[in-house]
Amino acid sequence: MSSDNQGIRPVPIDASPAAQANGVTPVNGHTPNGAQQFGSSERIQVINDEKNFTPDLASQIDRWGLRDVGFSYNIVAVFGSQSTGKSTLLNRLFGTTFDVMDESQRRQTTKGIWMCRGKGMGVMVMDVEGTDGRERGEDQDFERKSALFSLASSEILIINLWEHQVGLYQGANMGLLKTVFEVNLGLFGKKAQDGTSGRTLLLFVIRDHIGVTPLANLQATLTADLNKIWESLSKPAELQDRLLSDYFDLSFTALPHKVLAADKFESEVQQLRKRFVEKGREDYLFKSAYHKRIPADGVAFYMEGIWEQVQTNKDLDLPTQQELLAQFRCDEISTLALAEFNEQSKPQRRPVEAGRVVEGLGSMMRNWKTQALTRYDRDASRYHQGVYKRKRVDLLSVIDSTLSPLFLGQLKNLHKSCLVAFKKEMLEGMRGEGYNFAVVVNKAREKCETRFTEGAKEALLEDTDWTWEDEVELLREEVGIVADQCRKDETKKMVNLIERTCKRQISEPVDIHLNKAAPDMWDGVLIVFKTTLEKAEATYLTKAKSFNCTEEENTTALATLRKRAWLVLRAKIDEQVADPVILGKLRGHFEDRFRYDDSGVPRVWKPEDDIDSAFKKAKDQTLELIPRYSKIAPVDPSNEYTLPSEPSDSLSSTEEFDFPATLTVFTETKSLDLSARFRKDADAYYVEAKRSTVSSVAQIPYWMYGVLVILGWNEAMVVLFNPLYFAFLLCALGSAYAIVQLGLVGPLIQVSRTVAGEVQRQASDRLREHFSQPVLAQPIRSRSVDVDSNDGEDELRRRGGSPM
Ligand SMILES: Nc1nc2c(ncn2[C@@H]2O[C@H](COP(=O)(O)OP(=O)(O)OP(=O)(O)O)[C@@H](O)[C@H]2O)c(=O)[nH]1
């Protein structure tokens, strides 16, 4: 066979149906934006003829709908000399729309590397610029790079060659393959040694197979050539004994002449197509062993990385590439998951910051976290496991540190709301009477702690180092402070209540004792006071027990209670000895002794009565009361009551309390003043008594009745001797007899007495009015305060009386 493949290249007579159908002139096969649309399939120039990688591959994969298919896709590339029908074959096999050479022109069609999605299948097909093209001449750089690129990124590399190229070295691209194998060892040598995947299928498609030489012979020749090349490779020392079959699977197929045996060609192509499509077939070509394990959404980045390495002529390190890809993609996926997570958590931040307890925050946080991780796991777990796991830890820590302020905020808000609830609970528990403070506190505390603990546990996320125990301790302390304050307030309230009860209880008995003004008046008052206080102290101690009050608090509270009870008593006494009240009492006392006799009957003074001594006695007895009222001094010393005095203290805001001073009800001066005022009142009574005797002296004298008989003798005789009058007299006597017989004398006398009394009273008044002077006609009480005591005496002297 000739080694000059230019000379033996058959003249292609077919043009791309797609190209023809669309009327596109397939010259260079690319457009300025690097992507062309043919029917429903879009293709993209992955690497242009200036050896630049397109930035649009990722979005193109997205448009093909392959972005989210994970590993459910395949990549196939073609390798072979220029114008050997590669594009035609790909279009037939995969329904792609690659440009096919114009029959009339003999020039390069595919420039750079193109990619198209297989029609109706998840296959990314790469059409690679043909090798050995006259357009690039001696420059073999691109063909080497594109071959390396195809091998590194695809699962199946279709090696397209004419039948007559078999056996040629350059014609069959054996030189190029040698280079590719050598680099391949660098790529996959180690992987294969580890036993991990990295195999590639080299599918030899022999075109224009006439059938003279059976496929088996061609296959043997090619295999022998390949093994020969493999032998001649300069392998790394540790891979010296490696065989071609350790890295590559070889497959061979032949297609008849496209023009001369067009039908056969078509049917063979369809047969071959089935091997790419029908997964159940034994000879199915896309075996999982060939898959590069790059998720579809990372293919663009991965290929770009490989091309960069190829370009910079660095040794291709696919594991590193995969790690780099994983880093990039995991970062991307993590960012996306975080963005979604932040979007979810954002609305809850504001209420937490505003101090509200967000119900179910824990489950929400758990949900956001799980969603973010699930999303990350779903997309990133397909990448390099080491990188995936590392990035997952990073993502977790970012999520946790984002949620941590929410958790802490929730704890703080819970703390606040529990404290408020505790106070409310305490107030409710202490409403009304008869509650047990300790029970109320314990119940409220338990409720508060339970609520906090439940809330904190709910908000606590698993697998974090978050804690809430410190916060609950703090809450306990504050609850203790609040409870203590409540206890103090309640103790105060209780003391106030007891004080009020005390006041109520002592009020009436003290009134009675002070009104009586007996010599042992203060004994009675103090006995009542002490009994009431004892009861109050007992009540306090019973309640204080439930308040868990300390001994010291009890002592202080009892001291306060005693002092306040004493002050209550003093206030009551002050009320009773206020000027008008005490004067009223003195007057009453005096009246009882002066105006009434010993049996309590009001006295009617007669001229022979000793008004002066009665007045003196009553006045002296009343004046004795003033010193009695002036000081709290019981007759029996055992009834005395003492309290410690307290100096004033501005720091503790205690006012001075001088107990001995409180025993004095009123001072000496006040006593003298009261005496003087009382005397005036008493004098007025005296004057009144005296006056009443004067008015009784003014009664009708008995001789007047004698005069009346004498003067009325004639009239009596007329009655006796006048039959009419006499008849009247008899009637009167008869009536009197009947009255006596009927026992109506008593009532009649009574009636008569009343009538007489009334007549007498009327007469007395008239006479008094007649004899009285204007000054004496004034009401005594109203004058008593204004008139000087001497005025009364002067008046009496003028009228012939003598005051005591
Ligand atoms: N004899 C023959 N001609 C073919 C066959 N397949 C395609 N052709 C013709 O060969 C010519 C080149 O076909 P393309 O498919 O453009 O070849 P290519 O290898 O893709 O060309 P480049 O992309 O320029 O390297 C066209 O005129 C086709 O009609 C075949 O199996 N036998």
Instruction: Give the span between the Cα atoms of 280 and 543, in whole angstroms.
Output: 90
Residue 491: the pLDDT is 79
Length of the chain: 804
Nearest-CA residue for atom 11 of ligand 1: 12
Look up residue 559 and give its DSSP letter: H
- Each residue of 235-259: pLDDT tens digit? 777 778 888 888 889 999 999 998 8
Residue 258 CB–ligand 1 contact under 6 Å? yes
Distance 464 CA to ligand 1 centre (A): 64
Distance 149 CA to ligand 1 centre (A): 23
What is the layout of strands, in order, in the sheet containing 200-207? 35-38, 41-47, 113-117, 123-128, 74-80, 156-162, 200-207, 248-254
Neighbours of 531 (CB within 10 A): 13
Q: Which residues face 128 on adjacent strands?
A: 113
Q: In 3-state terms, what secondary structure has residue 143?
A: helix
Q: 16-34: buried (b, 16+ CB within 10 Å) or exposed (e) per residue?
A: bebbeeeebebebbbeeeb
- Ligand 1 pocket, mutate which of 8, 11, 14, 43 (most atoms under 8 A from CB): 14
Look up residue 134 and give its DSSP letter: T
Look up residue 356 and give its DSSP letter: P
Annotated binding site: 80-87
Encoding tokens for residue 506? 């002592």
Look up residue 600 and give its DSSP letter: S
Please report the ipTM that was assigned to this predicted complex. 0.97
Look up residue 751 and give its DSSP letter: H
105 close to 50: Cβ distance less than 8 angstroms = no
pTM exceeding the 0.80 threshold for the entire prediction: no
Residue 697: the pLDDT is 52
For tokens 């004398």, what's the residue?
Answer: 745
Encoding tokens for residue 156? 């199946």
Instruction: Give the span between the Cα atoms of 418 and 450, in whole angstroms.
Output: 9
Question: 3-state DSSP: the chain helix, strand, coil percent, rounded to 5?
Answer: 65, 10, 30
Residue 27: the pLDDT is 32
Distance 398 CA to ligand 1 centre (A): 56
Residue 24: the pLDDT is 32
Read off the amino acid at residue 29.
G
Segment holding 44, helix H or strand E: strand 41-47
Segment holding 490, helix H or strand E: helix 469-516
Look up residue 631 and give its DSSP letter: B
Which atom of ligand 1 lies nearest, measured to the CA of 255? 31
Residue 88: the pLDDT is 92
Instruction: Give the span between the Cα atoms of 645 and 663, in whole angstroms.
Output: 12
Instruction: Give the span between the Cα atoms of 255 and 210, in whole angstroms.
Output: 9
Instruction: Give the span between the Cα atoms of 647 and 606, in whole angstroms.
Output: 61
- Classify domain 43-316 at the CATH topology level: Rossmann fold (3.40.50)
- Each residue of 173-208: pLDDT tens digit? 787 788 777 776 765 555 544 444 568 899 999 999
Nearest-CA residue for atom 6 of ligand 1: 85
Residue 339 CB–ligand 1 contact under 6 Å? no
108 close to 83: Cβ distance less than 8 angstroms = yes
Q: At what angle do helices 668-697 and 579-594 cross, to 10 degrees?
A: 40
Distance 33 CA to ligand 1 centre (A): 25
Cβ neighbours of residue 583 under 8 Å, at least 6 residues apart?
A: 674, 677, 678, 681
Annotated binding site for GTP: 80-87
Instruction: Give the span between the Cα atoms of 491 and 485, in whole angstroms.
Output: 10
Q: 195-221: buried (b, 16+ CB within 10 Å) or exposed (e) per residue?
A: eeebbbbbbbbbbbbeeebeeeebbee
Which atom of ligand 1 lies nearest, measured to the CA of 207? 31
Q: Where are the domains of the chain?
A: 43-316, 319-466, 489-647+657-693, 699-739
Q: Which residues face 159 on adjacent strands?
A: 79, 204
Residue 223: the pLDDT is 92
Distance 83 CA to ligand 1 centre (A): 5
22 close to 113: Cβ distance less than 8 angstroms = no
Residue 101 CB–ligand 1 contact under 6 Å? yes
Residues of the chain with pLDDT under 70: 1-41, 102-108, 132-139, 170, 184, 186-198, 313-319, 433-434, 647-655, 694-699, 772-804
Cβ neighbours of residue 138 under 8 Å, at least 6 residues apart?
A: none
- Each residue of 757-791: pLDDT tens digit? 889 888 888 887 777 644 444 444 433 333 344 44
Encoding tokens for residue 187? 């790529």
Residue 190: the pLDDT is 57
Residue 798: the pLDDT is 42
Distance 274 CA to ligand 1 centre (A): 22
114 close to 98: Cβ distance less than 8 angstroms = yes
Beta strands 200-207 and 248-254 are: parallel
- Ligand 1 pocket, mutate which of 28, 83, 115 (most atoms under 8 A from CB): 83
Instruction: Give the span between the Cα atoms of 294 and 557, in whole angstroms.
Output: 83
464 close to 400: Cβ distance less than 8 angstroms = yes
Instruction: Give the span between the Cα atoms of 434 and 426, in whole angstroms.
Output: 14
Nearest-CA residue for atom 10 of ligand 1: 12
Q: Give the count of alpha carbons within 13 A of 454, CB side only.
A: 10
Distance 34 CA to ligand 1 centre (A): 22
Residue 491 CB–ligand 1 contact under 6 Å? no
Neighbours of 187 (CB within 10 A): 24
